[in-house]
Amino acid sequence: MPGASPLIADGRPCYRGAMHPISSDRPLVIIGAGGHGRVVLDAAIASGMAVRGFVADPPPPFTNDADYLGGLSLLSGDFLGDHDFIVAIGDQKVRRETCEQIRNDGGRLAIVIHPRAWISPSATIGGGTAIMGGVIVNANASVGDFCILNTGCSVDHDSVLEDGVQLCPGVRLAGRVHCGADAFVGTGASIIPDIRVGAAAVVGAGAVVVRHVQAGAGVRGNPAREQAR
C-alpha cells in the first residue's frame, strides 16, 4: 500500500488518504500530558510513530511510561528542529497559540491518526490535528489545522471543520456541516445536514442542533437552543 505524502513541513492541509500511514524522520513530542495527552500518546504509539515523550508545565503526575522531557521552555532552537510536535491541550485558545508559536519559530506540526480511525481517500486533514480511535471522516470532508476529533466521533461527507475545532467523544456531524474556527462540540451532540456552527461557538453535550449557531454562542438541549455562557 503506498504511503501518504504528509507535507508537514509547512503544516498546511497535508494528509489525504484512507489507510495510508503518515511517516516522519523525526520523533514525536506531545505537548500537554493530561488525560487528553495520554490518549494522544496511545494513538501515536498504535499508529507506529516514534514518541520521544511529553513536554508540559508543570511536570505531570502520570506519563504512562513515556518520558517527561521538561517544560515549555524547551520549545526553541535545535529541539524544535529535531522533533515533530502535536499539541494535546483541550483549551482551544491555548492550543491555537501554542501551535502558531511552534510554526512561527520554525517547528513542524505532526498529525496523529489512530489506526482504527477511517479517513476517506478524498478527505483532507490539517497539520497538528489529532484523530482518535473509532473516528470516521467521510468523503470530501475537510478538517483544518490543530483540530481534535475525539473517540468515536463522525464527520460526514462534505463537512468542513475550520482550524482549532474540537469534537468530543461520540459527536455526529451529518453531511455538509460547517464548524467555524475554534468551535467546540460536546460529547454525544448531533448536528443535522447543512448547519453552520459559528467560530468559537459551544454546543453542549447531547445537544441536537437543527438551526444555525451564531459565532460565540452557546447552545444545548433537544432541539438545541441558545443559552447564556
Taking the C-alpha atoms of residue 219 and residue 229, their distance in angstroms, rounded to an integer, is: 9
Residues contacting residue 178 through CB under 8 Å, at least 6 positions apart? 159, 160, 162, 195, 196, 197
Helix, strand, coil % in the chain, rounded to nearest 5: 15, 25, 60
The residue among 125, 181, 182, 127 whose CA lies nearest residue 155 is 125
The cell for 96 is: 491555537
Question: 83 an active-site residue?
Answer: no
Question: Which residue is listed with cell 461527507?
Answer: 157
Taking the C-alpha atoms of residue 86 and residue 108, their distance in angstroms, rounded to an integer, is: 9
- The residue count for the chain: 229
Q: Of 20, 157, 178, 212, which is the active-site residue?
A: 157
Taking the C-alpha atoms of residue 170 and residue 149, their distance in angstroms, rounded to an integer, is: 10
Render 57-79 in DSSP notation, one character per residue: SS--S--TTSPEEE-GGG-SHHH
User: Which are the catalytic amino acids?
Assistant: 157
